[in-house]
Structure 1
Amino acid sequence: LFLLLEGQYAVGDFLQASGVNGRVVSVGLRVTTLQDARGQLHYLPNGSIGAVTVRDDPWAQFSVDVLLSTSESAEAAATVCQQAVEDVCTQYEGWARLEGTPVIRPGTHHVNIELPISVQTEAEWIALEELPVRVRLALEAAGVKLPEGRPPRVYHRARPRWLKLAEADADK
Structure 2
Amino acid sequence: MLTPEANLRLQLRISTISSVTKSIIIVAWLVVGILVGLSVIGVNIAPLLAGAGLIGVAISLASQNLIRDAINGFFIILEDQYAVGDVVGIGDATGFVEAINLRITQLRDTEGRLITVPNSEIRTVTNYTSNWSQVDLKIPIAYHSDVEKAISLIEKISDSMMRDQSYRKEILEKPIFLGVDEFSNQGIILRVWIKTKPLQQWPIGREYRRRVKIAFDQAGIELSLPQQKIWISQENSNQP
The normalised TM-score by structure 2 is 0.37
Q: Which has the higher helix share?
A: 2
Q: Which has the higher contact order (CA 8 A, sep 6+)?
A: 1
- From the two aligned structures, give the one with the greater strand fraction: 1
